[in-house]
Every structure is written in structure tokens, then in C-alpha cells.
Structure 1
Amino acid sequence: MMLLKEVFLGFIGLSAGGIIAAGVFAFLAMIGVFPRIIGYTKTHKHIILFETCIILGGVLGNIFDIYEFPIGFGGNVALGTYGLAVGIFVGCLVMSLAETLKALPVISRRIHLGVGLQYIILSLGLGKLLGSLVFFAERFGQ
């Protein structure tokens, strides 16, 4: 009876996770993150590779989230590379959302800014980067 309960709970958990992952990927595709990246990099010929990498990224990300693998030698390099990749992706996601919602023209009109919006965006990003670096430097020192 206990085994049946665990199998059922495992099935429900995996099904719910699959639905959430499909929703996230559908949302990212709907707001145009992937087409924008492909358009900016002019790599239309490699769409199958992009799709494969997106699927592998989702699957491997879930596996690495569920199971804890020791990094061992070169762990800091691997974590740095992963952090850089995630940062680039989040930046692309945020800019895609901003373009989709047309938030930047609204902000610039409200604060009566004619020139220099790119500097405000850059300063927000650098502030986020600096805050993250300070936070993680404090946590790693413990």
C-alpha cells in the first residue's frame, strides 16, 4: 500500500513539474525571447540546434535541481560559467519583457527623459550585479 502511494505521489509530482516546465517554455516562446536571440545573432540556419539546446537545458536544469552532483575540480570555473550564462539569459528575458510590454517609452515619458534612457537601464543592471556580488561575497565568507 505504501509503495502504491509513493508511486502515485511521484507520478503526480512529475506530471505537475512537466506542466509547469511546459508553461514556462511556452511563456518564453510567446514573449519572443528565443526569436529575438536568433534574430540578433543572425543564426536562422541553426534553429534545430537552438530547439535541442533549449530542451536539453530544461531537462538538465531539472535533473541538476533534483539531484545534487558534486562539482569537484574546477568547481569555481563551472559555477562562474553557469552564472554568466544564467545572467545573460535573465538579461535577455528582462529586455524581451520590457520590449513586449513597451515599458521603456512609458518610463521615459513619465520621468520626462529625452536622452539617456540607456544609461538608466545600464545603471540598474550594474546595481543589480553589484548587489549580487556583495551578497554572494558575504555568504561565501562564512
Structure 2
Amino acid sequence: MTIIKAIAVIFTGLSGGVAVGIGFVAFLTVLGVIPRLTQLTKTGDYIRYYEWAVVISVVLSSFADLNNSSFPIGAGILIPIGFASGIFIGMLAAALTEVLNVLPILSKRIGMEGLLISLLMALVIGKLAGSLFQWLVFVNF
């Protein structure tokens, strides 16, 4: 690999990481997802723990991902971790939906008020197709 290609790869990787990081921070800060999450769960006294949990988990998971780390854990531990991760992602999505009321606003703006279910199905099918494409094409690439 030439030096120019290496610099381009480094620049692209850092740019992508910064863009995703900024989006994540904007999502959590501007929309007030964590404070709203603590309101919904009535755990406002623990807001600092939520914030530090997000920061630490992002840093550790980014570090593990960049180092191609793997952890030899059994299904007995993997199932509760997956369950907790699913709950966390679901709660964040619910908080975002609560804060923004995303789909009804989107359907009104694009003129699909009566077709909200169709819009939702298009999003689901698009997400499914993108995930399958990633796992079936890029994992074996």
C-alpha cells in the first residue's frame, strides 16, 4: 500500500468516525434523549450514571472494534447481554419517537398521511435489505 493510499484510508476512517460521533452526540444532547429516558423510568437521580455508561461503553466498544477483539463467552452470558442491549436500543428509539414524533411528521411532510403503514414497512424492508446486504456481501468480502 502506498503512502498516499494509507493516508487516504486514515483520513476516510477518521472522517467517518468523527461524523458518526458527532451524530451520536447530537442525537443524545440536542434531543435530550438521556434526560427523557430518566424521566420515563423515574431514575432522574442516576442521570450521571447513564451519561458515563454511554461514554464508557462507546469508548470501550470502539477500542474493541478497532482492535478486532473477541471475547470467548458462552451463550449463558451472551443471551442476557443481547437482551440488555436490545432493551437499551428499544428505549432509545422509544425516547426518540416520544421526543420527535418522527413518523407522523415525516408522513405529513412527504404527503403520505394516509399511508403511514406503507411508510413504516418501507423503512423496515429497507433496513432489512441493508442489513442482509452488509452481512451476506461485506462479511464474505
Q: For each residue in 1:37-92, what CA deviation from the matched residue of structure 2 results, as whole angstroms up to 9, or x when unmatched?
A: 222333333333222211111122222333332322x3323322321122112211
User: Residue in 1 aligned with 2:84?
Assistant: 85
**Letter in structure 2 aligned against 1:22:** I
Give the TM-score of the pair, scaled to structure 2. Answer: 0.56
Contact 1:33 1:93 in 2 (8 A): yes
Are positions 1:28 and 2:20 aligned together?
A: no
Matches of 1:6 and 1:104, distance apart in 2: 42
Matches of 2:89 and 2:63, distance apart in 1: 20
Matches of 1:99 and 1:44, distance apart in 2: 17
User: Residue in 1 aligned with 2:15?
Assistant: 15
Matches of 1:61 and 1:33, distance apart in 2: 20
Q: Secondary structure at the match of 1:55?
A: helix
Change (3 A) 1:82 1:7: farther
Change (3 A) 1:43 1:12: same
Matches of 2:12 and 2:65, distance apart in 1: 18
What does 1:46-65 align with in structure 2 at a 5 Å threshold?
46-65=46-65
**Letter in structure 1 aligned against 2:29:** A
> Where do 5+ consecutive residues of structure 1 fail to align?
111-142
* TM-align CA RMSD: 3.5
> Where do 5+ consecutive residues of structure 2 fail to align?
106-113, 115-141
Q: Which has the higher contact order (CA 8 A, sep 6+)?
A: 1
Matches of 2:97 and 2:45, distance apart in 1: 27
**Letter in structure 2 aligned against 1:76:** A
**Letter in structure 2 aligned against 1:77:** G
Contact 1:31 1:96 in 2 (8 A): no
Contact 2:38 2:44 in 1 (8 A): yes
User: Residue in 2 aligned with 1:68?
Assistant: 68
Contact 1:33 1:92 in 2 (8 A): no
Matches of 1:2 and 1:78, distance apart in 2: 43
Would you say how many aligned residue pairs link Structure 1 and Structure 2?
Answer: 109
User: Residue in 2 aligned with 1:98?
Assistant: 97
Percent identity between the two aligned chains = 35
Matches of 2:14 and 2:103, distance apart in 1: 39
